[in-house]
Amino acid sequence: MAVEPLARKEIEDQLSELPGWSLDGDRLVCSYRLAHHFAATAMVVHIAQVQEELNHHSDLTLGYNTVSVAVSTHSAGGKVTRLDIELARRITALAPVHGAR
C-alpha cells in the first residue's frame, strides 16, 4: 500500500497540535530533555515499542539526558505522511510519562 506525502500546509496544521515538534527539511523533528540518562534510555525503549506497534521507525539519537527524534516515511521518498504524524502524536504522549521537558 502506497503512503502519500502530506502537503506542507497540512503538516503545518498538524504541527500546531504537536508541541515541540517542527519541520526540518522533509522530516518532523523533536528533542526531549530528561532528568538523567536512565530516564532518557527508558524513553527510547518506549518509543521503540510504539514504532514496532506501528511498523514505522524513526531516527533516534540518545544523549546523556536527551532524546532526539527525526521522522519521515522512506517509502514516500523521505517525506512526511500521516503515519509520521501518528508516530509523533504517540511519542508526544510518552513524554510526560518520562518527565521530558
d(CA 70, CA 83): 13
Residue 26 has pLDDT above 70, yes or no: yes
Query: Model confidence at 98, in pLDDT bands (50, 70, 90)?
Result: confident
Q: DSSP letter at 36? A: S
Q: What is the pLDDT of residues 32-53, one digit of tens each?
A: 999 999 999 999 999 999 999 9
Residue 1 has pLDDT above 80, yes or no: no
Cross-strand pairs, 60: 69
Architecture category of domain 8-14+23-98 in CATH: 2-Layer Sandwich (3.30)
d(CA 5, CA 72): 9
Query: Model confidence at 101, in pLDDT bands (50, 70, 90)?
Result: confident
CB 69 within 8 A of CB 58: yes
Q: Where exactly are the structural domains of the chain?
A: 8-14+23-98
